Structures are given as C-alpha cells and as structure tokens.
Amino acid sequence: MKERILITGGAGFVGSHLADQLLKEGYAVRVLDNLTQQVHGDQEWPDYLNQYVERVEGDVRDAAKVEEALQDVSAVYHFAAAVGVGQSMYQINHYTDVNNRGTAVLLEALSKRPVKKLVVASSMSLYGEGLYRDASGNIYSPPERSVKAFAEGQWDVFYGGEALQPVATPETKLPSPSSVYALSKYDQERLCLIVGSAYNIPVTALRFFNIYGPRQALSNPYTGVLAIFSSRFLNNKPPIIFEDGKQRRDFVSVHDITRACVLALENSNADGEVFNIGSGENYSIADIATKVGQVLDKAHIAPEITGEYRVGDIRHCFSNIDKARNLLGYQPRVSLEDGLEELSQWLQGKASFDRVDTMRNELFSRGLSL
C-alpha cells in the first residue's frame, strides 16, 4: 500500500472519481466532506463513494476536524469549495467563508503538519474573459463587457469598433475575476502557493475548465452546465441558455481531470506551477445543449435562448493546454461524443429536481440577471 492521501470535498463529483483513481494506483484514501445539502440532498455518504475510502464528516472550516483528517497523511488534494458563479454574487459571505477561510484553516494546519504535496483545485473562472485577437493577429485581454452593450443585445467583445475573435487561453493570461466565486478560487490558488513556498510544501494548482461526467449533482442549479441541461431534459423542459447561446467553453471529462490530478501528485515538474486542465477543444453553449438533447433522446425539445445576461458571466474562455502536455504529460483521452454517451447511460433512471426557475428568480430579484 502506498501513502495515505486526503481529499477535502472528496465525497463530491470530482473528488469521488479521484478517490477511485487513487485507490487503483495503490494509495490509501481519506476524504473530509461536510455533505452539504445543495450537492448531496438529504442523503448521507453517497452510494457511489468507494467502500474502501476512509470517511471523516466535517467542515474544512473546523480546525479540529481538519487536524483529525490530516493524521498520517502524506499528500492533500484541496477540493472543498462552494461552487457557483451566480449564487456567489448574493451569498457573498458564505462563498468567501467556505472558500477563502476554509483554505486558510487547512493551510494553518499544514504549516504545523507539512505534507509531501498539496494539489489545489483552481478554476478557469479566474481568467474572466479569455484571450482574443483582431483581424491583424494582435492579441487582447479585454475588460468586462458593459451593461449598456447587453441592453443593446451586443454580446461579442469589441475593440476599436471591431469584433474580436476568441483564442485559446494560456496560463500566462493575467487573472481578471468577474464574480465572487472566481475571486475566491484565485484566492485559494494564491494562498496555497504562497504558504506552500513558505513552508517547503510542493504545491500545484490545477485550473479546471468545464467538467462533466457521471455523479454530477443534477438538482443543483449552480453546478456544471451539462448537468443543468440534463436535468431540464429529464424533466421534459427546454434548457435555458443565456445571451445568444454562442458563448464558447471547453468541456472536459471527469476521467481526464482525475488523470491530471494523479500526474500533478507524482510529477515533480508540477511543483510550484499552475496548469490549465481542459480538453483543448471548444463548443458553443447552444451546440452543447443540442448534443445533450440528442444523446438523451430529447432532440424534439428545443433549447430556450433567452437573451438574458447574468452578472459575472463571461463571453468566451477555453483552454490552451500546451503547458500541461509538456510538463505533466497530460493528454485528454475522452472525446466529447464518448463522454456524453457515458453521461447519458449514467442518467438512465436518475431522478432530478429541476430548480433552474428558482435560480433565475433569485438572480432577477437581486438585479443580477438582466
């Protein structure tokens, strides 16, 4: 048996898949999770969590529980976080408390009990808008779009009167968080790198792009867009698409994510580095909704493109993964077609409570959706 690894937030979607992979690699695995109702519903430990995982129920903000979870641990994956761009804009205290202070509690414990490696789950959201280029090939990192432009139905990013074209975003782009969630993820990343450097703990930050796959929380309206679309289709309702549906994203299988996580743990080239972890491909949100409808045999339900805008949303951002390929040896293996087919098989017979309309009303009532 190899060393024991702790995954904070390890009962969740990504953490549980990572636990499976680490067990296959011969590691012992412990998870710390507070089993939050928004993700897990009213159940306790989820059925999908591997039976060989050691379980500690508790909050990452609870110093005593963190100390308990760190006993005899050689490495930590820090995945515990409140997730959701829109919700973070009105649950400001909660998101800052869980994500920022929770990370601080963990790091204080690690300063007294250093480990061989800390891998923190960061996010593509910290980039804000991705990179763009004009017709002459000049590259731009544009500011946030204006409310005035949205009111006029102008969704694209312009510079000097010219609509810019999105390009893949590398790690060298300066962060420009446009939501409380994005800012908190950047804070998690920087806190871990700063404290790790001070206490000689090798740290790697992985900037995940849009993750999808089995075990996503279907009834959480602030989770990944593929799960939200799936929930709508399963309830025979059209997916709700903001703006004009042409915004582009990178969708990556959870299986590729877990392989990247293991590479980050075992490869010293990752120490002190940040990496984009995506598929290296990009699709429009409208195209993705159509593809999900097709694999679920719901192609007759047309997506509803609302022309609405949510505060904190960006137009385009998708990954340049050259650094992860070159330094980590990371290579995505799961095509979108195969990943969606796996997702559709997992969804068979799943119950889903659609809460998208509740989410929209929350945002409208606070002036966060226009």
Q: How far apart are CA 167 and CA 152, in angstroms?
A: 25
Is 147 within the bounds of a domain? yes
Residue with tokens 């992979």: 21
Is 356 within the bounds of a domain? yes
Is 236 within the bounds of a domain? yes
Is 335 within the bounds of a domain? yes
State how many domains the chain has.
1
Q: How far apart are CA 249 and CA 172, in angstroms?
A: 18
Instruction: Kindly give the parts of the chain with pLDDT less than 70.
Output: 1, 41-42, 219, 221-222, 351-356, 363-364, 368, 370
pLDDT of residue 190: 98
Q: Coil, helix or strand for 253?
A: strand
Class of residue 171 by CB neighbours under 10 A (exposed 0-12, middle 13-18, buried 19+)? middle
User: Among the options 27, 181, 283, 330, which is catalytic?
Assistant: 181
Which tokens go with 361? 């009303």
Domain that holds residue 111: 4-365
pLDDT of residue 139: 96
Is 231 within the bounds of a domain? yes
What are the Cα distances from residue 129, in Å, to 143, 160, 247, 313?
Answer: 8, 17, 11, 9
Is 10 within the bounds of a domain? yes
Q: Is 225 left (phi over 0), alpha (psi -120 to 50) or beta?
A: alpha
Q: How far apart are CA 75 and CA 188, in angstroms?
A: 17
Asked if residue 55 lies in contact with residue 73, where contact means CB atoms within 8 angstroms, the answer is no
Question: Got the DSSP string for 292-335?
Answer: HHHHTT-TTS--EE----BTT--S-B-B--HHIIIII-------
pLDDT of residue 221: 66
Which tokens go with 262? 């293991």
What are the Cα distances from residue 311, in Å, to 150, 268, 293, 327, 358?
Answer: 11, 39, 27, 36, 17
Could you read off the pLDDT of 233-242 as tens digits, one per residue?
Answer: 989 999 999 9
pLDDT of residue 26: 96
Question: For residue 113, what are the contacts with CB-CB under 8 A and spacing of at least 6?
Answer: 67, 70
pLDDT of residue 311: 80
Q: How far apart are CA 39 and CA 20, in angstroms?
A: 19
pLDDT of residue 100: 98
Which tokens go with 355? 């809460």
181 in catalytic set: yes
**CATH number of the structural domain spanning residue 310:** 3.40.50.720
Is 370 within the bounds of a domain? no
